[in-house]
Amino acid sequence: MSYQCPVCGYGELTRPPENFSICPCCGTEFGNDDFDRKPSELRDEWIEKDMPWFSRSTLKPRNWNSYRQLIIADFGADLVDHPRMDNDVNYRYEVNKAFSEVRIAKQLKALREREQEPLTQSQLATKADMKQSRISELEGMNYSGWSINTLERLAKALGVAFKYSFVRWSDLTFDIKRGLSDQTLAFPSFEREPVRQIVGFFEGNREQAFYSALQAGRSNTVSILQGAIAAPPPRSLTKEMNSYGTIINSPSPRRHSRVA
Ligand SMILES: [Zn+2]
């Protein structure tokens, strides 16, 4: 049984974070340091100190990275809201790199486990001509050596597109604050992209196109069709769309994880 530190997100505490136990990662003494300060305040202080590993007796995990740990624990918003984001250029790029690494690892797993077309790690490995252990390592969120070649092979195996692009900092921070839910990361492969329903819609068979998309559980088709509607749909459809919208837009219970 292991516990997570509410300050730094370290997930391998051997005792619950209370009764004067100490986090080996950030050094918080629970019941003392957090007696009159909130975990978020202690986290800001740890970030200010450049997130050093505290313990001399407990060694850092292999490939340990404080930025990735905070992002995995869903504290990414605290990283981008910290004043260091404005004042420290190296910090800013470390946040960028750690978020990109965690995001691509989570996205790989979310795409592999898509409800409509799931693959095991071995099946994906075969399609991408890799070993299963390699897929496991890439999905582990602690991998740091991504190559374009690997990403292109995985994209082809998953049937999705892959683009290189530079982005604005405001777009990156928006993504970090939104968090990494499977809903924002997974989408259908080329073969299952919703071309037919959309064609049907524009050919005038609105109602059938909607029902078909709803029945297939294709959230992206439904949003495309919703966006394309000039006139409001019939009443029966409005009701069903609303209930569907609630499902695809319901906020995740985790902090900072909201579908925009
Ligand atoms: Zn800690």
Q: What is the DSSP string of the chain?
A: --B--TTT----BSS-S-TT-B-TTT--BTTTTTSSS-HHHHHHHHHHTT-----SSSPPPTT--HHHHHHHTT-HHHHHHSTHHHH-HHHHHHHHHHHHHHHHHHHHHHHHT-TTS---HHHHHHHHT--HHHHHHHHTS------HHHHHHHHHHHT---------HHHHHHHHHH---HHHH----GGGSSHHHHHHHHTT-HHHHHHHHHHTT-HHHHHHHHHH-SSPPPHHHHHHHHHHHHHHHPPPSSTT----
Position 248, amino acid: I
- How far is 141 from 180, CA to CA, in rounded Å? 12
Domains of the chain, first to last:
1-61 (no CATH), 85-185 (1.10.260.40), 194-249 (no CATH)
Other Cβ atoms within 10 Å of 118 Cβ, number: 11
Task: Record the pTM.
Answer: 0.75
Tokens of 5: 């530190």
Question: How far does the centroid of ligand 1 lie from the alpha carbon of residue 5, in Å?
Answer: 5
Question: How far does the centroid of ligand 1 lie from the alpha carbon of residue 51, in Å?
Answer: 10
pLDDT value at residue 11:
96
pLDDT value at residue 213:
66
- How far is 218 from 183, CA to CA, in rounded Å? 12
Q: In angstroms, how far is CA 45 from the centroid of its own chain?
A: 25
Question: How far does the centroid of ligand 1 lie from the alpha carbon of residue 31, in Å?
Answer: 13
Q: pLDDT tens, 111-142?
A: 999 988 899 999 999 999 999 999 999 999 98
Question: How far does the centroid of ligand 1 lie from the alpha carbon of residue 32, in Å?
Answer: 13
Question: How far does the centroid of ligand 1 lie from the alpha carbon of residue 205, in Å?
Answer: 57
Question: How far does the centroid of ligand 1 lie from the alpha carbon of residue 28, in Å?
Answer: 6
Question: How far does the centroid of ligand 1 lie from the alpha carbon of residue 13, in Å?
Answer: 8
Question: How far does the centroid of ligand 1 lie from the alpha carbon of residue 196, in Å?
Answer: 51
Q: pLDDT tens, 167-190?
A: 999 999 999 999 998 888 998 888
Question: How far does the centroid of ligand 1 lie from the alpha carbon of residue 253, in Å?
Answer: 22
Please name which of 65, 84, 91 lies closest in space to residue 10, comparing C-alpha atoms: 65
pLDDT value at residue 134:
96
Residues of the chain with pLDDT under 50: 230, 245-260
